[in-house]
Amino acid sequence: MSNATIADKRPGALHGARLPKWSPWAIAAGSLLVAVGIGAGAGLDSKVQWGLIAALLFLFATYGIAAYVEGRRQAKDRIATGLVWVAFLVALVPLVSLVWTTISRGVKVLDVYFLTHSMGVVPDSQPGGGIYHAIIGSLEQVGLATIIAAPVGILTAVYLVEYGRGKLARAVTFFVDVMTGIPSIVAGLFILSLMLIFDMEPFGFAGSMALAILMMPVVVRSTEEMLKLVPNELREASLALGVPKWRTILKVVLPTSIGGITTGVMLAVARIAGETAPVLLLVFGNRFINNNPFEGAQQSLPLYIYQQYAQSAGANAAYDRAWAASLTLIAFVMILNLVARGIARWKAPKSGR
Amino acid sequence: MKLQRMNRRAIALGALAASSALVLTACGSDDNGDSSGSSSSASASTQAGSIKCNDAKGQLLADGSSAQKNAIDAWVAQFSKACGVQINYKASGSGAGVTSFNQGQLAFAGSDSALKPEEVTASKKVCTGGQGIDLPMVGGPIAVAYNLSGVDNLVLDAPTLAKIFDSKITKWNDAAIKKLNPDAKLPDLKIQAFHRSDESGTTDNFTKYLIAATPDNWKYEGGKAWQAKGGQAAAQSAGVAAGVKQTNGAIGYMELSYVADGMKAVSIDTGASAPVAPSSDSATKAIADAKVIGTGKDLSLQLNYTTKADGAYPITLVTYEIACDKGNKADTLPATKAFLTYIASEDGQGLLNGLKYAPMPADIIAKVRTTIDGLS
Amino acid sequence: MDITTQNTEDTPPPAPQPTEAEQKRNARGATRPGDRIFLGLSRGSGIFLLVIMAAIAVFLTYRASLAISKDHGNFLTTFEWNTNIQPPTFGIAVLAYGTIISSIIAMVLAVPIAVAIALFLTHYAPRQLRGPIAYVIDLLAAVPSIVYGLWGALILVPHLTGLFGWLNDYFSWTGVLSWDEGPPRSMLTVGILLAIMILPIITNVSREVFRQVPQMHEEAALALGATRWEVIRMAVLPFGRSGVISASMLGLGRALGETMAVATVLSPDFLIHASLLNGGGGTFAQNIASKFSEADEFGRDALIASGLVLFVITLLVNGAARLIIARRAEYSGANA
């Protein structure tokens, strides 16, 4: 399309006139001022409106000025830049607010005592107690879910990418897609009905199984993407040397993509670590420490947050604990994320892009 | 196997998580020491002595009504201290409690409504040789809380309440409200009536009251799900409380303990000599008007929602503990019995006042005690 | 040979191309014990996944059929959900509408902004900022939904009054954006919260896709004198289109099935409201969460039936997305 536009009208010079570097800021400040002026002048009390006027002014002014000085194409470019920045800043507001709320409310009761004690016999409406039992429960349930889901997911992805052709592979691909859309509570109900058939009481591992169901498709999807990125030359080189295919996969393909796979697994872990609904049905919740995921009710962090919010008679102490537990959960996810990134960087194929 | 090799990383991470959990197990503690003191712990030490443990041990699972959650929490604190039994009460709702009980997963359940006939039938599978029975244990006033700046004292009667929650009265300065509150400065503001979006025993009891007290103005069937159209809905009492707190001109029903800063409770004009505000005492007075309608060992109550007794608050809810009369599981029976005996005792019921609940009237609780003694 | 090089350059190769020679080699390889075991293991995992899916589907269908057969109303069109009365009457019309409308709002809000942020992170942001911001976005993708729910109910809802009032002042004539001044706990609120929740996911995946745009394409466009925007329009977006679509589908999947966050901010009822600003309506997942705790066996079956419908909707959406991606793939990347 572009030949016509690129062969521009401007004669001779390689560089047309350019706006100075500070111009976007100046225009932004200018339009903000004018918007406040208009808003205050016209007596518009909605701040939304002020912001909207400012944003519109900014875009029009940018376009007008840039079109006048630099030409239409540059003006469009500046508009696009402006829009991208605006979008980023707009999105930043709620996300920062979320993080800020969680941190500022969460630190109120978050201390060593809180992390090393269970709720025990402390009534939910009273201050005190902690989340140690929930941390243990979450770690064990999520850890077990990972032990089930990660190998199955990775092997399935290997099958799809390295072997898979034909009906079975297509069926697996399709149903993995569908599986990503299973509502988490449905996975919980499924395991619950199995438990009732076998007449079992709630225990931690039941939660792990539901979480594993939710985790597998995510692992398959991300691992699949990563395996596809492994250059074929590597596979061919290995096969050409007479290495059996399975050893090629184990020694060449997987090590090359292990960074990405780990990241994917970690993100999946982070995703299931925050699931409330299946855990609510399956592990029951517990006020006391239960270190054994295979017997007896356990607690988990998201469930704890939910209970402290919803079932505590609106006591402020419970809300504080809910936020503190949220902060802990986010910190947990953040650490996992950091670890994943570290591994990804450490293991990334040096020959990559 | 080869499997392990290729997933070395994943397994290592899983193992890392598991082993860090194991390491952590060394440093956690269930012992919250003196911090477990509840508002009512003044008498804790004396009480602990009077609790009979009867070889109770282990952990009990229980589930059900969220309305009695705070009461159970307080009881568990005392009981665990005395007997070392862990009682794990999950307040996920009466329906879930009864369902799990009938699936044999619980030692006892808590429910805001008595067992339905089909639920009793289902319970016979779990209670070998017996059936599930209702033991009324905790009363609670359902407060109608409002948030209206400038109005500190609001009186409503049943027809007005029904019309407000049915969106028939939509403004605060409506003539019907004015008539009941001649002195209040009622603004020309839209009423935002909040109800529960989830199904709940609180809704059930609130609408039962409206049906009994003013059938002409509340023509719905009642039940745990809210039936009227219109109004605002929020999940859980916590959601209703948050909604009322955030909205000027809001009104909503919730357990009394949720009524906190930013909200006030409506006094109900029952036809008694003065309007009645929700409190532990006024609820107990209303429950005293109730009849036991359960047969055999079942002690389910029929509340009198139209009571005109002085100082009796008519919108009340009674939470039952549900256990088997015969055929409780052998391993949980001693602890269940000991716990129920404790909460029905004078000490146990005595805790309720401080928690904005209502203790059971003396004649009813006496029957409850006899029944508990006979559990097997 | 040049087939494979082109593949690695332009699109992520789907798999080693099965040339005849390779197929023979595969066949030979498969006779080695190690290969057979490994193939068996990986195929076994795939089959295991299928079995789980089948088991879930069978279980859902069975339980759902128990409930639907006793439904007094029409399961698809009744505007009511009463499983505790005799005869039970319930229908999914409102839930289907609410689920779809809130997801559409979320997608309309989130996809453009997410794509913009992804572009911002790959092409606009100062280089030192890219890493940290990408990290924060990664993190937000993993914030548990219950936390979004808490935040939504306590912070977002009170702050929407202004926006709703403004929309009502200027757009109430549309009917869709009129407001009765109730608390702002409507489908639009849900849509906004869902948009905020799925924004990080879509951004994340889109960013990965944009990063993989072949350097040479961009450089070629730049060499022709294209501005940055023209580079993006001509080289980056066409290449990333299918990736952005699948990213959006991931986000949509989460939006469709979101439970806790919706339940905390929506003021549900069983009516379909024309206005997006007035409270009311409901979604599948929210309804399951709301009704589940008080539901008896039958009520649970009815809720499972609604879960089955959600499942089918997800299936259709995913199928459609696959079709779109498959069709787009022919035009994307390689030929741009």
Distance CA C165, CA C163 (A): 5
What is the predicted pLDDT for the residue at B372? 92
Give the per-residue pLDDT at C111. 94
- Nearest CB neighbour to B233, from listed C158, C267, C295: C267
- What is the overall mean pLDDT for chain C? 81
Query: Is there a cis peptide before residue C87, judged by omega within 30 degrees of 0?
Result: yes
pLDDT at C326 over 90: no
* Residue C83: partners with Cβ closer than 8 Å, 6 or more residues away: C67, C90, C291, C295, C296, C298, C299, C302, C303
Interchain contact, B225 vs C291, CB within 8 Å:
yes
Closest partner CB to C153 (pick from B198, B199, B242): B242
% of chain C residues with pLDDT over 90: 15
Mean pLDDT of all residues in B233-262: 87
Q: Where are the alpha helices (DSSP H) in A43-71?
A: 47-69
Share of chain C above pLDDT 70, in %: 88
What pLDDT was estimated at residue C80?
81
Q: How far apart are the first and last CA of chain C?
A: 22
Using the 8-state DSSP alphabet, how is residue B228 labeled?
Answer: S
**Token output for A77:** 């470019």
C-alpha span between A78 and A67 (Å, rounded)? 9
Query: Which residues of chain B lie closer than 8 angstroms to C84, CB-CB?
Result: 199, 223-225
Residues in B closer than 8 angstroms to A284, CB to CB, are 61, 63, 88, 90
| A 111-170: CB under 8 A from C | 151-153, 155-156, 158-165, 168-169
Interchain pair B225, C84: CB under 8 A: yes
Element of type H or E holding C162:
helix C161-171
Which one is predicted more confidently, C186 or A349? C186
CB contact under 8 A, C269 and B95: no
Residues in chain C: 336
The rounded distance, in Å, linking the Cα atoms of C219 and A352 is 19
Cβ contacts from A onto C, under 8 A? 293
| Closest Cβ–Cβ partner in B21, B31, B236 for A143 | B21
User: Cα separation of C146 and A249, whole Å?
Assistant: 40
Please check the confidence at residue B369 and state whether its pLDDT lies above 90: yes
Least confident of A255-259, B192-196, C188-192: A255-259
DSSP 8-class letter at B29:
B
CA distance A33 to C217: 41
Calpha distance B98→B93 (Å, rounded): 9
CA distance, residue A313 to nearest chain B CA (Å) = 5
Reported as a single tens digit per residue, the pLDDT across B69-104 is 888 988 988 888 888 888 888 888 888 889 889 888
Type and span of the H or E element at C261: helix C260-265
* Chain C residues within 8 A of B246 when measuring between CB atoms: 157-158, 183
Q: Look up residue A350 and give its two tokens.
A: 């040096």
Model confidence at B38, pLDDT cuts 50, 70, 90, reads very low
Q: Answer whether residue B24 shows pLDDT above 90.
A: no
pLDDT at B4: 40
Which residue among B32, B92, B237 places its CB closest to the CB of A280?
B92
Q: How many CB atoms lie within 10 A of CB C329?
A: 14
Between CA B166 and CA B193 the distance in angstroms is 9
Return the residue of B nearest to C81 by Cα. Answer: B225
Alpha carbon separation from C83 to A243, B224, C271, C298 (Å, rounded): 63, 10, 17, 7
Q: Which of C153, C279, C294 sits opposite B224 (nearest CB)?
A: C294
- Per-position pLDDT tens, chain A of length 353: 444 444 444 444 555 667 777 877 888 888 888 888 877 777 666 666 677 788 888 888 888 888 888 788 888 888 888 888 888 888 888 888 888 988 998 898 898 889 888 888 888 878 888 899 999 999 999 999 999 999 999 999 999 988 877 888 888 888 887 787 777 878 888 898 888 778 787 889 999 999 999 999 889 988 887 888 788 888 899 999 988 888 899 888 888 888 778 878 887 888 888 888 888 888 888 888 888 888 888 899 999 998 888 776 667 788 889 899 999 998 888 888 788 778 777 766 554 44
Residue A279 — φ and ψ, nearest 5°? -65, -40
Put simply, the answer to whether B77 touches A123 (Cβ < 8 Å) is yes
Q: Is pLDDT at B203 greater than 50 in this prediction?
A: yes
Beta carbons of C296 and B201 less than 8 Å apart: no
Query: B177, B149, B148, B143: which is closest to B163 by C-alpha?
Result: B177
Complete domains list, chain A, with CATH: 10-104 (no CATH), 116-347 (1.10.3720.10)
What residue in A sits closest to B260 (Cα-Cα)? A314
Beta-strand pair B132-147/B250-255: antiparallel
pLDDT in tens, B214-238: 999 998 888 888 888 888 888 888 8
Contacts of C82 in chain B (CB under 8 A): 223, 225, 227
Put simply, the answer to whether B255 touches A313 (Cβ < 8 Å) is: yes
For residue C8, list chain A residues with Cβ-Cβ distance below 8 A: 231-233
HSE (side-chain half, CA atoms, 13 Å) at C122: 26
Contact call for B95 and C85, based on CB within 8 A:
no
- The answer to whether A120 faces chain B, any CB pair under 8 Å, is yes
Number of Cβ within a 10 Å radius of residue A10: 12
Task: Tell me the mean pLDDT in the region C304-317.
Answer: 85
Mean pLDDT of B27-47: 49
CA angle B191, B197, B201 (to 5 degrees): 105
With a cut of 80, say whether residue B143 has pLDDT above it. yes
Tokens standing for residue A297 = 């009710």
Average pLDDT of span C211-226: 85
Give the pLDDT confidence score for residue C11 in this predicted structure: 43
Please answer yes or no on whether A274 and C200 come within 8 Å at the CB atom.
Answer: no
**Could you read off the pLDDT of B267-278 as tens digits, one per residue?**
999 888 899 999
Mean pLDDT of chain B: 84
Distance CA A16, CA A42 (A): 40
> If contacts are CB pairs under 8 Å, which of residues 170-209 in chain C contact chain A?
196, 199-200
Query: Nearest CB to A158: which of C42, C288, C304?
Result: C42
Nearest to C304 among A189, A305, A309 (CB): A189
Decide if C232 and A186 are in contact by the 8 Å CB cutoff.
no
Reported as a single tens digit per residue, the pLDDT across A249-291 is 988 888 888 877 887 888 788 888 888 888 888 888 888 888 8
Give me the residue from B7, B35, B241 closest to A154, CB to CB: B7
* Strand (E) or helix (H) holding B250: strand B250-255
pLDDT number for residue C98:
92
What's the CA gap between C265 and C238, in Å, rounded? 37
Return all residues near A56 (Cβ < 8 A) that are at least 6 apart.
none
Tell me, yes or no, if the pTM score tops 0.90: no
For residues C266-284, average pLDDT: 85
* Run of H or E residues at C90: strand C89-90
Residues of C near B (CB-CB distance < 8 A)?
34, 37-38, 41, 81-82, 84-85, 153-154, 157-158, 180-183, 185, 263-264, 266-269, 271, 279, 289-297, 299-300
The answer to whether the CB atoms of C183 and B224 lie below 8 A apart is no
Angle of helix B333-344 relative to helix B362-373, nearest 10 degrees?
A: 160
Secondary structure (H, E, C), chain C? CHHHHHHHHHCCCCCCCCCHHHHHHHHHHCCCHHHHHHHHHHHHHHHHHHHHHHHHHHHHHHHHHHHHCCCCCCCCCCCCEECCCCCCEECCHHHHHHHHHHHHHHHHHHHHHHHHHHHHHHHHCCHHHHHHHHHHHHHHHCCCHHHHHHHHHHHHHHHCHHHHHHHHHHHHHHCCCCCCCCCCCEHHHHHHHHHHHHHHHHHHHHHHHHHCCCHHHHHHHHHCCCCHHHHHHHHHHHHHHHHHHHHHHHHHHHHHHCCHHHHHHCCCCCCCCCCCCCECCCCHHHHHHHHHCCCCHHHHHHHHHHHHHHHHHHHHHHHHHHHHHHHHHCCCHHHC
Rounded to whole angstroms, the Cα distance separating A1 from C70 reads: 62
Residues 65-104 of A with CB under 8 A from C: 73-74, 76-77, 79-81, 83-85, 87-88, 90-91, 94-95, 97-99, 101-102
Q: CB–CB of C13 and A228 under 8 A? A: yes
Structural domain C97-331, CATH architecture:
Orthogonal Bundle (1.10)
Residues of chain A numbered 149-168 and touching chain B (CB < 8 Å): 150-151, 154-155
What is the reported pLDDT for A208?
95
Going by their DSSP bridges, the two strands B108-111 and B59-64 should be labelled as: parallel
Q: What is the CA radius of gyration of chain B?
A: 23
Q: pLDDT class for B322, splitting at 50, 70, 90?
A: very high
From A302, A309, A264, select the one nearest A283 (Cα to Cα).
A302
Instruction: Answer yes or no: are the C-beta atoms of C211 and C151 closer than 8 Å.
Output: no
A neighbours by CB contacts (3+ pairs under 8 Å): B, C
Q: Could you tell me if A184 and A214 are in contact, meaning their C-beta atoms sit under 8 angstroms apart?
A: yes
